[in-house]
Each structure stands twice: as C-alpha cells, then as structure tokens.
Amino acid sequence: MIKVLVTDLEYNKAKHIFQNATGFECISAPSDEAGLAKAIRDEQAEYVIVGINKYTKELYEAIPAGGVIARFGVGHDGIDKAQAKAKGIYCTNTPGVLDDSVAECAIGMILTAGRHLAICAADNKNGVWKNRVGVELAGKTLGIIGCGNIGRKVAKIAKLGFGMKVVGYDIVKGSNMENFDDFYPDFAEAVKNADFVTIHIPNIPATQNFINSERLSMMKKGGWLINTARGGVVDEDALFDAVKNNLIGGAALDVFKKEPYIPQMKDLRTLENVIMTPHIGSSTLEACERMAISSLQNIGSADAGKITEMDVI
C-alpha cells in the first residue's frame, strides 16, 4: 500500500475517492505547514497532496528525497519549487481536469453581473423588492485575457451558448481559436469595446498585478472585470478605485491576493458592484474527483519510478 497524506480540505472534497483508492492508504492531515510536517514525520510518509496553502520551509524538510508534493489543482504558486528541487522532491499538479468547472464559473459570474443576480438575491432576503434592469449577453462583447484551455472553453460557451462576440488577448496566438471573432496581442485593443473582460492567466512574476490602474483605464466604461484565475494578477486597490470612481461597471471575483480575503489598503466588500466568492471555481464534485484521481496517479507513477508519466511542475 502506498501511504499518502492529504490535507484535510482536499481530503473532504473527494473523500469517496481517497477512501476507496486501490493500492493507496490515504490519510487526512492538517493543512497548516507545521501540522502537516509533523504528520509526515509521524506517519513516515513520502507523499502528500496539498491545496492552495503557501508552504515555505517545514514541508520540504519533512519529506524525504524522492517524495512528492502533489498539488490538488493547477495553480502551484503556494509551492516553493526551487526549495523542493534542492531537496530532491518532485512537485506535480493536475492540468486539464478542472477546465470545465472554472470555465462554467466564469460564465456564471458574467451572467450574474449582467443580470444583477447577486444583489437582487441579497435584496430579496433583506425584504427589499427592487427590480433592477440588466442586460442580455447576446450580442455583447467578451474580452478573454489568456487564451489557453480554460479561456478557449469560456469562448466556446460564450459564443455558441449566448451568441456573444468573443475577443482574445494573449502573448502568442495559439491553435483552436475557432470560437474567437478577433484576437489581439495588444491588451488595449482587446478590451476597449468589451462589455465583460475575463482573466485566465497564471500567477507568475511576469503577471503580478497585471490588471493595474493603467490597464483598468483601457477598459470600456461600464465594462465588468471577471477573475477566476489567481488573485495575484489583479491590483485590488487599483480595482477598488476603478469601480468606486465608475471607470468600470464592476467586478466579479473568485480569487484574491490573500485567502480568506483580507483587504489590501481598500476593502472591496464595501462596494455594491463587486461580487465576491470564496475560490469556488474548481469546486465541483466532478472536478474534485478528477483532481483526486490525477493526484494519486502522479504519486503512483513516482512510486513505480515512472517519472516521465508524472505531471511535474
């Protein structure tokens, strides 16, 4: 049996998979670094599956060389790859398995923004009966920032499902762009007429605060910003100012610089036209099961010495 520690939140998201995985003994463990490191030592484990928490030191000291830190998801900015490599630890993620869930979440946020669904629901629960006039998505322009797998899935749903005009922006134009009406390597051109702008780029040093005051000023007045990617790519204080001063119509955010959300200098929660959800983009039953299976497959490959079959990051 291959012993695997799984951080508690991730374990509970796919408990059925972890409890019934053939050939694996999966054990729920604390998510905090000190608790997780202690559990690894106590269980003499080589393999661990982790979520979005940031791990800076103790985790890498606890796992022996040849062990695996398997990310339950795609983004891996919480894992110090350089430190892991120096210790001889493999790091993996689960590419492709959550694309549909995140794409659907982005579309849901666009619809929620366009029809004021979140605030109308809150109004009604608070005894306020107020009819707010929204917009149809048909015929509206959607700017997609980052045209990878998720961006292309969003384009397909928006184009074929809602009849939106879809405009893409990326550093390089990729393949399978059939659901895009236009593509620009220039951000300003891609967003200047967009009623909604949705972000699908990774959080890497080059994209830190990519959506800043300058780029927000390039957006169409009244346009909405949607972020289901990573919080680090948006300057939250600049976004606050843009919404507060009516430079853009609003924002729908599923990810934040600090999670659970802690304001930077300015609190986005105080703005009516900001929709905020607690990083639920990939939290579907189907995606969680696929992430669990993929994480275990990576660990199984490592245990068998089949390194080339792993999704190494």
Q: Cα–Cα distance between 38 and 30 in angstroms, integer? A: 9
Same domain, 116 and 168: yes
Q: What is the CATH number of the domain that holds 144?
A: 3.40.50.720
Mean pLDDT value across residues 121-141: 97
Q: Annotated active-site positions, please?
A: 230, 259, 279
Same domain, 71 and 129: no
Q: Which domain holds residue 158?
A: 99-276
Q: Under the phi-then-psi rule, with left for phi > 0, alpha for psi from -120 to 50, and beta for the rest, what region is 124?
A: alpha
Mean pLDDT value across residues 28-38: 98
- The helix/strand/coil state of 189 is helix
Instruction: Return mean pLDDT, the chain.
Output: 97
Same domain, 63 and 116: no
Residue 130, Cβ neighbours under 10 Å: how many?
9
Q: Cα–Cα distance between 107 and 198 in angstroms, integer? A: 9
- The helix/strand/coil state of 231 is helix
pLDDT tens digit sequence for 97-119: 999 999 999 999 999 999 999 99
pLDDT band at 55 (very low <50, low <70, confident <90, very high): very high
pLDDT tens digit sequence for 226-270: 999 999 999 999 999 999 999 999 999 999 999 999 999 999 999
Same domain, 105 and 216: yes
Domain count, the chain: 2
Same domain, 72 and 212: no
Q: Cα–Cα distance between 225 and 154 in angstroms, integer? A: 14
Residue 209: HSE in the Cβ half-sphere, 13 Å Cα cutoff: 9
- The helix/strand/coil state of 147 is coil
Nearest CA to 254 among 77, 109, 75?
109
Same domain, 59 and 38: yes
Same domain, 168 and 202: yes
Let me know: does 291 contact 282? Beta carbons within 8 Å.
Answer: yes
Mean pLDDT value across residues 157-184: 96
Same domain, 78 and 127: no
Same domain, 210 and 84: no
CA-to-CA dists, residue 311 to 69, 227, 294, angstroms: 11, 25, 9
Mean pLDDT value across residues 273-294: 97
Mean pLDDT value across residues 159-163: 98
Residue 194, Cβ neighbours under 10 Å: how many?
25
What pLDDT is stored for residue 175 in this prediction? 84
- Structure token digits, residue 71: 């990310």
Same domain, 106 and 90: no
Same domain, 36 and 165: no
Same domain, 65 and 211: no
The amino acid sitting at 133 is V
